[in-house]
Amino acid sequence: MIKIRPLQIVSVASLITVFALDSQTPLGFAHGDLYLIAVLLAAFTGSLRFMWTLAGLSLALTVLGIWLSPEGLPMRFWLTNRLMSITELLALTALTSYVIIRLQRSRMEKIQWRREYRNLKKLTPSPDNPLSPFQHSSQFQLFADAIPQTIWTATAEGGIDFVNRAFARYTGRLREDLINRAGWLGSVHPDDKPLVMAKWPEVIAEGKEYELEVRVQRHDGKWRWLLVQGTPVKDPDGRIIKWCGSAIDIDDLYRLAERFEHVASTTVDAISDWDIVNNVIWWNQGINTLFGYEREDMMSDPTVWTSHLHPEDRDRVLDAIWGAIRGDTEELMMNYRFMRQDGSIAEIEEHMRVVRDQSGQALRLVGGMTDVTERNEMAEQLGHAQRLQTVGELTGGMAHDFNNLLTVIQGNNELLTEALKDNPELADMSDMIRQASEKAEALVQRLLAFARRQSLEPQATDVVDLINSIQPLVRRVIPARVKLELVIEDKVPAVMIDPGQLEHALLNLCLNARDAIADNGCIRIVASSASAQSLTLVNKELDAENWVAIAVEDDGQGMTEDVRRRALDPFFTTKRNGEGSGLGLSMVYGFVKQSGGYLHIQSSPGAGTAIHMLLPVAEIQAIGLDQPQKRLHSGDTPVVLIVEDDELVLQYAERQFRELGYQVLAANHGEQALDMLRQRVTANKPVDLLFTDVRMSDGMNGPQLAREATMIQADLPVMFTSGYTEDAFDQESGSPGHLPAGTLFLSKPWRRADLAQKLAGLTSSED
């Protein structure tokens, strides 16, 4: 049955009304325009067919009106009027049709969306329907199974209720086996199960997103690291109705990171990786090993590292880093100082590299900190040793000849002084010669001591007795305002040292300490068995029981780091011109090193200075030259064989021995002396003493001559003399510059009194 709408009836009625008016009025009236009302009313019905039917009738009635209207205007006006009306009707009807079609399409789209919405509404989870039908629909399973990523869902209580095909394939288990606690937990590594079992209930209770790295057994039996991620699904009221998540295989990434960690842990450097974009920094274990800082603390904020830069270097280092980030350079090579956790200062050499994206934007800054403190110290020690060797070679080369000259000058000046007793003016001039030569002698001895080329006579020495014996002398050379303290441990072991040189070294250190104290202060001489702390100072792995520690401390002005580093260099001094030679501390250092010990300077501005010495504990003496020490008979005129390659020194020695009552035989070199000795032994006239220089130019030195001579005359006493022994006794003593135990030695330059004192020990009334 056809349903007639009200608008359709109104449209037809308007059409009839217009036609009636058309038949009752003159033809010139625009009756065709009135039909537009009927067409528009038909358009509002929403039916295109009805509208076009009514439009057709309007056109027909417009034409019919030509013959029905009363006569009036000419025919041409009738035709024009009707054509215009027909055109308007057609145009308006076409336009109205287009509008109706667009409206209908829009309406259909809205209807379609409403239908889709209703369908989706049916699939939305609700408290009454927590298991979404979408999950169980074939479309969802097809979608989930098409994804290569492993996907899972769980109930609000945490029970796994769905896994996709990729999950099942990865583990090699059936889906049915995985959708229960025992099933999926059985794929987890035994060592990780406690973590999973503790973490999952905690996550369910908190209701927050989570990530967890666990090992899961793959279908081929291999254990692989997975990153498991989960997210809660909530209803409009905020209640959790579902859990959904994924599991990503990160094993290759994990192994790569693990390999990187292993590589980074094997290096001795502290490696950093600063993510500039996210302002996150990573450190390897080297930051703890080298500097004592915990990795977690250093990784908490990139600025933590900058706070440990030495204040004097911080601005320079940061300016260089930001310059590299801006694009000044791609790589940085810097040296700076870094504060360790214990407060000490490390010297750092760092290589940094900026990582950029394709546009040139800095993304990361990777760096490696190398602690070069020990290397720099070794380089410094090497440089010091090379300087020492240079000075030693120079000093040793001239010391022998220079001391020969001083022997002649001092010895003959002594004779000259005796001869000029009655002439005060000339006697004063002679005394000036003595003073000048003694200063020259002291200078040479200091240079030899610094260069470790002096002749030492080490022996077991009681440190306590030695320090107590020099206390009065030290007290006299320091002002009354400066306090002197002796801090000596009970039962300090004896040390193997040249006691005279040790006294000189301690006195020298006390004088330096005195000069460092501006007002009231204190000087302490400390002696004890070596401790772990004292061994740490010299940075050596030594047995404490084999060493004795001696220190001279003051609470004076202290030294800057630069001064401390250079303090042992020869001729370096911070004193004003004429107040110091710069050789005192160098001489002490050379003596300690030549004695087999160690020296360390501990000082900082305003904190005073401590000079620490480690000296070896006395052991069994080295076996020296075999010298029976024959005693000369009283009443005899002893015969001495003098061997000296310097003619002036030889003449001086001959005169001094004759003055002391000796018969003198003189030789210029070793072979000549051996020939003379053979002749004396053959004639049954043995020699009573061989007095020989250590270094001679003919190729045979003093110790070699002594060995040859004692083979000719076994009981022949030997006395050596030299201004510089070099390495002549090293074979016998076992230590460079050390004289063998029991060796008779007279150091050049010497005087008659020195010679007489040495000879006194050879005089006896018995054989």
CB 291 within 8 A of CB 338: yes
- Tokens found for residue 696: 């001679």
Among 432, 424, 510, 514, smallest CA distance to 471 is for 510
Q: Give the pLDDT band of residue 434 (cuts 50, 70, 90).
A: confident
Q: Report DSSP state, residue 765.
A: S
Q: Give the pLDDT band of residue 20 (cuts 50, 70, 90).
A: low
443 and 463 housed in the same domain: no
415 and 491 housed in the same domain: no
Give the number of other Cβ atoms within 10 Å of residue 607's Cβ.
Answer: 13
- 127 part of a folded domain: no
Q: Give the pLDDT band of residue 424 (cuts 50, 70, 90).
A: confident
Distance, in Å, from the CA atom of 402 to the CA atom of 443, rounded to the nearest integer, reads 11
Q: Give the pLDDT band of residue 293 (cuts 50, 70, 90).
A: very high
Instruction: With a cut of 60, say whether residue 427 has pLDDT above it.
Output: yes
Q: What would the pLDDT profile of 648-676 be if each residue is shown by its tens digit?
A: 889 989 999 998 889 999 999 989 999 99
Where is the domain boundary, 391, 413, 448?
Answer: 448
Instruction: Give the H/E segment covering residue 347.
Output: strand 345-356
- Tokens found for residue 218: 């793959």
- 125 part of a folded domain: no
Per-chain mean pLDDT for the chain: 77
Distance, in Å, from the CA atom of 257 to the CA atom of 263, rounded to the nearest integer, reads 10
421 and 365 housed in the same domain: no
Q: Give the pLDDT band of residue 307 (cuts 50, 70, 90).
A: very high
Return the pLDDT at 130: 47
User: Which comes out higher in pLDDT, residue 545 or 548?
Assistant: 548
Q: Give the pLDDT band of residue 82 (cuts 50, 70, 90).
A: low
556 and 513 housed in the same domain: yes
Return the pLDDT at 677: 93
- 220 part of a folded domain: yes
CA angle 183, 186, 187 (to 5 degrees): 100
Instruction: Give the H/E segment covering residue 163.
Output: strand 160-163
- 361 part of a folded domain: yes
Return the pLDDT at 143: 76
545 and 481 housed in the same domain: yes
Distance, in Å, from the CA atom of 662 to the CA atom of 689, rounded to the nearest integer, reads 10
Return the pLDDT at 140: 64
What is the CA 615 to chain-centroid distance, rounded? Answer: 33
Among the ranges given (164-173, 298-307, 395-404), the one the predictor scored with the smallest mean pLDDT: 395-404
CATH of the domain at 677: 3.40.50.2300
585-604 burial: b if 16+ Cβ within 10 Å, else e: bbbbbbbbbbbbbbbbbbbe
Instruction: With a cut of 60, say whether residue 84 has pLDDT above it.
Output: no
Q: What would the pLDDT profile of 447-457 be if each residue is shown by its tens digit?
A: 666 555 565 66
Return the pLDDT at 453: 57
**Per-residue pLDDT averaged across 439-465, rounded?**
72
271 and 228 housed in the same domain: no
Q: Report DSSP state, residue 581.
A: -
Return the pLDDT at 560: 84
Count of domains forming the chain: 6
Q: Give the pLDDT band of residue 282 (cuts 50, 70, 90).
A: confident
Give the number of other Cβ atoms within 10 Å of residue 662's Cβ.
Answer: 20
Where is the domain boundary, 354, 371, 388?
Answer: 371
- 234 part of a folded domain: yes
Q: How many CA atoms lie within 13 A of 748 on its CB side?
A: 29
Among 181, 216, 183, smallest CA distance to 201 is for 181
522 and 572 housed in the same domain: yes
Q: DSSP 3-state helix, strand, coil percentages of the chain (rounded to 5)?
A: 50, 20, 30
pTM of the model: 0.45
Return the pLDDT at 263: 64
- Tokens found for residue 702: 């003093």
User: Which comes out higher in pLDDT, residue 227 or 3?
Assistant: 227
Return the pLDDT at 446: 66
Return the pLDDT at 340: 92
Structural domain that includes position 400? 377-448
- 260 part of a folded domain: no
